[in-house]
Amino acid sequence: MAIAPYRIGVDLGGTKVEAIALAADGTITTRRRVASPRGDYAATVRTIAGLVDAIDGELGGRGSVGVGIPGTISPATGLVKNANSVHLIDHRLDSDLEAALGRAVRLANDADCFALSEASDGAGKGARSVFGVILGTGVGGGLVWEGALIAGPNAIAGEWGHNPLPWPRDDERPGPTCYCGRAGCIEQFVSGPGFARDHAEVTGQVLDAAAIAAAAAAGDRTARASLDRYVERLARALATVMNIFDPEAIVLGGGMSNVAALYHEVPLRWQGWVFTDHVATRLLPPAHGDSSGVRGAAWLWPAGAEISNAARAAPRAAPASP
Ligand SMILES: [Zn+2]
């Protein structure tokens, strides 16, 4: 065993794979990006291993390795589940990476990595409890308690996007059909595409989420009304998490986190839904922006973790199709 001189974080995205090395003080000492191999599992493993090798070669050491993935390792089967990059599903990505790299590798959902990054040295630094929320193409979340991710037996802690929109009005029921097979999921209302769909349904205008938010900020009345509906729905959706987890800080990430009005307006609305007389929870923009995923992956290991010098092995064969 040797002490890792730095922490490597890898963010496996749909279009790019990014890797950084994080020094003990949280400084990024090197950063590399390559295009994601499309639909090719073996190439994905090779790409991640290649980025780690390149960083080790550049820095002359062996770092700890954490990887953020668009999905989760199922505790029941050890296989990737809930991934929108479907070529990852039903593979043992963690053990295949460990074999390819000759050291232990920690994997986590990308929303969990975001939450861990922002809780560790980002917007939620110093807060005992943090709910990190991704409001992007999809909606995800992660819960951090005293600096550590909450990891339950199903590996779904904080995954609130497929809960139903709470306190629905009549015109919100049953709500849009979701790819998860249900209708009226929170994700269908507070994701970027969900915001755009609602605006199109009410106004007939097809605009993306950023354009609607910009029009609202510029004083456009119909866009402003769409943003009001969004704010109200997000306040209700967050209130249910607050009633259970009572976080000190909620940090927003993903494309919708760029809408500055949310940080002032959502707390005005959630007051009416959270079961308390005064809400002390802070709603915060991310400190590390798009880098939170890759930083959080690095944070999956503590500084100075012991790294094995195990020999590398060939990745195992893909599972047979059922
Ligand atoms: Zn759903």
Ligand 1 mean position to 33 CA, how many Å? 31
What secondary structure does DSSP assign to 25-55, as a single string? TS-EEEEEEEEPPTT-HHHHHHHHHHHHHHH
Residues of the chain with confidence (pLDDT) below 70: 314-322
Give the chain's end-to-end CA distance (angstroms, integer).
Answer: 39
Ligand 1 centroid to residue 289 C-alpha, Å: 26
Phi–psi pair at 110, nearest 5 degrees? -65, -30
- The alpha carbon of 292 and the centre of ligand 1 are apart by a number of angstroms equal to 25
Closest-CA residue to 139 (of 172, 117, 162, 121): 162
Ligand 1 centroid distance, CA of 82 (Å): 12
Residue 315 has a CB neighbour count (10 Å cut-off) of 20
For residues 92 and 137, give the distance between their C-alpha atoms in angstroms, rounded to a whole number: 26
Q: Which residues contact 317 (CB under 8 A, 6 or more apart)?
A: none
Percent over 90 (pLDDT), the chain: 81
The helix/strand/coil state of 104 is coil
Span from the CA of 162 to the centroid of ligand 1 (angstroms) = 4
pTM over 0.75? The answer is yes
Q: Report the length, in residues, of the chain.
A: 322
> Ligand 1 centre and the CA of 159: distance in Å?
11
At 321 the pLDDT is: 46
64, 69, 74, 80 alpha-carbon torsion, rounded to 10° = -110
Give the Å distance between the CA of 143 and the centre of ligand 1: 20
Q: What pLDDT is recorded for position 316?
A: 55
Task: Give one DSSP letter per residue of 251-317, joined into a string.
Answer: EEESGGGG-TTHHHHHHHHHTTTSSSSS---EEE--SSGGGHHHHHHHTTS-TT-EE--PPP-PPPP
Residue 205 CA to ligand 1 center (angstroms) comes to: 25
Task: Give me ligand 1 centre to Cα 241, in Å.
Answer: 17
Is residue 57 within 8 Å of residue 282, measured between CB atoms?
Answer: no
Structure tokens at 135: 């409001």
Strands 148-149 and 139-145: antiparallel
From ligand 1's centre to the CA of 54, what distance in Å? 39
Q: How far is the CA of 103 from the centre of ligand 1 (A)?
A: 36
Q: For residue 184, report the distance from its CA to the centre of ligand 1, in Å.
A: 7
pLDDT recorded at residue 72: 86
- The reported pLDDT for the residue numbered 312 is 76
pLDDT for 315 equals 54
Q: How many helices (H) and strands (E) does the chain have?
A: 9, 14
Q: 226 alpha carbon to ligand 1 midpoint, in Å?
A: 22
pLDDT tens-place string over residues 43-70: 999 999 999 999 999 999 999 999 999 8
Rounded Cα distance, 4 and 312, in Å: 17
* Distance (Å) from CA 207 to ligand 1 centroid: 23
From ligand 1's centre to the CA of 52, what distance in Å?
35
Q: How far is the CA of 301 from the centre of ligand 1 (A)?
A: 31
CA of 73 to the centre of ligand 1 (A): 19
Distance 279 CA to ligand 1 centre (A): 28
CA 177 to centroid of ligand 1, rounded, Å: 8
pLDDT at position 14 is 82
In angstroms, what is the span from residue 188 Cα to ligand 1's centroid? 7
Ligand 1 centroid to 147 CA: how many Å? 29
